[in-house]
Amino acid sequence: MPTTPSTPTGPAALSAPKTNRVRVSVTAADPITREGVLSQLRRHPEVEVCGEPGPGGVSLLIEDTLDEAALTRLRRAVRSEGARAVLVTGSVREHELLDVIECGVGAVVWRREATAHRLVQAVLTTAKGGGDLPADLLGQLIGQVRRLHQGGPDQPGFFLSFTKREVDVVRLVSEGFDTSEIATKLAYSERTVKNVMHGLTTRLHLRNRAHVVAYALREGFI
């Protein structure tokens, strides 16, 4: 007589994979902060804590200051690991905001608001390809977009293509200056200049410096 398959119970059921969970990794400057965030996330079944989230996952980065090293970690999480990024930080100065967005960050959470619920909400929103910015930061971004359109080339899409810093760097590249000379003229580090060019080639799907300059000339940005 045929038997009806039973539903797994006990340890086997508890260990069954949960395919809908979002894979998330946590990076912080100190182990205490990292363990605290991991402890919060592990209480929520919607997320799965892992070492490297990989494509489709979320990399949650906790940064005290947004220096060039922090921006490099953000870029690596998005471009090298294929993950989406959530940034937890104490503040974002106005001139840093475009850099953060340019790195591919999907959500920003203020440290003072980083409860377990708020972190999970940001992770889930980012995993779906959405954006999640604090209201005051969103206001800053809108203001910067408006100013870039008013002060930049008279073309739609200026903000989406080149920031003022990118225009400055590419203009000097077009004039034949090398990386160290550009860094000296603009008072940037050489790493910053390299990151600007790498960001342009990656975001705009261009091949090299010459291609960036040709694109900028053709579109009227320099």
> Higher pLDDT residue, 96 or 123?
123
What does the pLDDT look like over 62-120, one tens digit per residue? 998 888 788 888 877 777 667 788 999 998 887 777 778 777 788 899 999 999 999 99
Question: Which pTM does this prediction carry?
Answer: 0.59
**Cα 43 to chain centroid, rounded:** 25
Angstrom distance (rounded) from CA 185 to CA 180: 9
> Higher pLDDT residue, 45 or 16?
45
pLDDT band at 201 (very low <50, low <70, confident <90, very high): confident
Determine the pLDDT at residue 162: 78
What does the pLDDT look like over 25-74, one tens digit per residue? 998 989 999 999 999 999 999 999 988 777 778 999 999 888 878 888 88
What does the pLDDT look like over 132-179, one tens digit per residue? 888 888 777 776 666 655 554 444 444 456 788 888 999 899 888 989
Determine the pLDDT at residue 102: 73
